[in-house]
Chains A and B, each alone.
Chain A
């Protein structure tokens, strides 16, 4: 018993001093104060919240009790325009960000190439697609092509970052072997990095497309066409029965695309892993 007590006290004596996390505490306090200030400043009308359930019921009734199904073909057509916008935007954006993203990865191109590219991605990530579309439409006008371009340019910000992060996660050995055989930067990227990164990048490209499908509906709000455009029109004229049909179509189409694209992405990643494990051949 005495030995036990002895060793116990010895441990206590040897324990390092508990660090004082002053920085963490200060950060917590600051965040708390910011939230408090925001709530006070916004002047939230809590009393309006009480009427929300009744209002919501009223509008849901207007929209979905008797939807105007005659709008269905037009709704599908405009959704198709939105999806096309998303698809063209994804393809353009993914191609551009693959070309720009690979040299932005550490160990591919020198720092003076890497830094400006990463800066470009960061700036593009900071600008919402709607703002990009507003800038672009001064040149290309209120067309679905403007929407596709805005999605492409906006996509470069995130997809470019995903690309260089994926490339950096590829083990360096294969790239070293290609360099040792006398390969140049392009050859190292194509045969040392791309084979290992391709499935992940394909999966991310599809994910980009899913995001674009949702964003394209929002872009319609500024008038570049597609289902968002139609939605704004009917909302402004308070034709709730048509709005209801549009919402149903948008949700159904978006969920279907998400499901299909998600299944393909899972298949790609599973295939990539299965091939790694299969050493029986």
Chain B
């Protein structure tokens, strides 16, 4: 379970995309407002944390970037694309360039690790091939290299359900990397992991940023992780940006403003 010691040779960085949100409002069909006019710009290759309590809108924000949640109004631009204007095939194509990992890992537990990572190649593969689970030589090679870069190659033929939480998140990162993405999104990637595993998964994400040069946007609710692993921090509270600045120099008072309450011991991971 070592981290940081696997050389991520292989998949070349395919360049990074900047992200621009302009006055983005998200109102869900049930009337709940997820975002109330968020505007921000993230440069290509930045490593940004989005911090806020649950319900602050950070999951909504990250999902507007790949169109999983449609923006009710405003503009979402990722690289050369205006995501909120796209649908169907074009949107799926843009999603192919945006990797995403989740709090609950979201692997198909009863499928093999190989087939789980192959999902990352879907946007580049004809549908009939993906339905049968067959891959071209190149795709197979990409999958293997992605697994190797997170240290999970030896498990490739095992079932995803048999892995530990940390291993599952590694496979999920490999799935996102096999997309050869320009942007990496992470929605509370370590909230279901124990502290040592959380740190090694955060290091993996950090390496994705530093060694592949991808734009990385990671949702966190823990202040020490945001300070340690990201360079810029965006604070969300009730669907609005209440902080935007360097992560390392963010003071406890800044966090109290984001959380809207005094700091508690559960706001840090420790170690």
Contact = CB atoms under 8 A, between A and B. Distances in A.
B99 to A, nearest CB: 8
B258 interface: no
A120 to B, nearest CB: 24
A191 B129 CA distance: 12
Interface string A173-184: 110111111111
| Of listed B94, B99, B162, B163, residue having the most chain A CB within 10 A | B162
A117 to B, nearest CB: 20
A212 B50 CA distance: 56
Contacts of B10: none
Contacts of B130: 183, 187, 190-191
Interface stretch (A1-9, A12-20, A84-92, A271-279): A271-279
A278 B131 contact: no
> Chain B, interface size: which category?
35 or more
B90 to A, nearest CB: 11
B108 A278 contact: no
Nearest to A193: B108
A259 interface: no
Interface in B128-185: 130-131, 158-159, 161-164, 172, 175-176, 179, 185
Contact of B95 (A179, A192, A280): A179
B106 A176 contact: yes
A198 interface: yes
Interface in B166-217: 172, 175-176, 179, 185
A180 B131 contact: no
Contact of B123 (A181, A275, A278): A181
Contacts of B172: 177
B48 interface: no
A199 B110 CA distance: 10
A192 B108 contact: yes
A196 B95 contact: no
A173 B104 contact: yes
B92 interface: yes
B251 interface: no
A195 B100 contact: no
Contact of B161 (A179, A191, A278): A278
A181 B106 CA distance: 12
Interface stretch (B76-84, B114-122, B219-227, B263-271): B114-122
Interface string B88-99: 010011111011
Interface in A132-163: none
A126 interface: no
Contact of A276 (B89, B158, B161, B175): B161
Given A187-B131, A191-B115, A278-B162, A180 B68 contact: yes
| Of listed B68, B100, B122, B131, residue having the most chain A CB within 10 A | B122
B7 interface: no
B96 A181 contact: yes
B109 A195 contact: yes
Interface in A164-178: 171, 173-174, 176-178
A182 B95 contact: yes
Contacts of A276: 109, 161
A84 B248 CA distance: 72
A182 B68 contact: no
Contacts of B127: 184, 186-187
B107 interface: yes
A181 B95 contact: yes
A180 B98 contact: yes
B174 to A, nearest CB: 12
Cβ-closest 6 pairs across A and B: A182-B123, A182-B96, A173-B106, A177-B106, A182-B95, A195-B108
Interface of A: 171, 173-174, 176-184, 186-187, 190-192, 195-196, 198-199, 272, 275-276, 278-281
8 contacts: A171-B104, A174-B108, A178-B122, A183-B92, A186-B131, A195-B108, A199-B110, A275-B162
Given A173-B104, A181-B95, 18 more contacts: A177-B102, A177-B106, A177-B172, A178-B119, A180-B66, A180-B98, A181-B96, A181-B119, A181-B123, A183-B122, A187-B119, A187-B122, A190-B131, A191-B122, A272-B110, A278-B162, A279-B162, A280-B162
